[in-house]
Amino acid sequence: MHEASIAISLIETVSGLCKDEGYNSIESVRLKVGRAAGILPDALLFAFDIAKAGTIANEAELIIEYIALGGYCCDCGSQFESEERYVFFCPACNSRAIKITTGDEMQIIDMEVN
Ligand SMILES: [Zn+2]
């Protein structure tokens, strides 16, 4: 399961940051996940709850902000957002010359520590 390894590395990252700053526990972690990142939020939440056991993130709540897929068309210049996981054509003119600019990222926004 792809999300399990993501959850484990996420816990390692936030635990490392937390310890480096001299804190003892993590309250919550906010994560930005793009719709096209290939991550299922439910699976990631589930994996996070398993991976955090016995770590300083034991009590941490994972908050996922799901980012829509967005981009623009090189032909007609229109910008678009989509709730789909993939976009292959410009919704305005059907051109294939599109650039995806948001929606494939996964990034820690911030975290609350004690
Ligand atoms: Zn277009």
State in Å: Cα 16 to ligand 1 middle: 44
What single-letter DSSP state applies at residue 113?
Answer: E
Find the Cα–Cα–Cα–Cα dihedral 48, 49, 51, 54, rounded to 10°. Answer: 140
State in Å: Cα 33 to ligand 1 middle: 26
Q: Are 71 and 98 in contact (CB under 8 A)?
A: yes
List the CATH code of the domain at 2-68+103-113: 3.30.2320.50
Q: 58 in the Ramachandran plot: left (φ > 0), alpha (ψ -120 to 50) or beta?
A: alpha
* Verdict on whether the full-model pTM lies above 0.85: no
Per residue in 2-53, pLDDT tens?
999 999 999 999 999 999 999 999 999 999 999 989 899 999 999 999 999 9
Q: Are 98 and 74 in contact (CB under 8 A)?
A: yes
State in Å: Cα 76 to ligand 1 middle: 4
Per residue in 42-68, pLDDT tens?
999 999 999 999 999 999 999 999 999
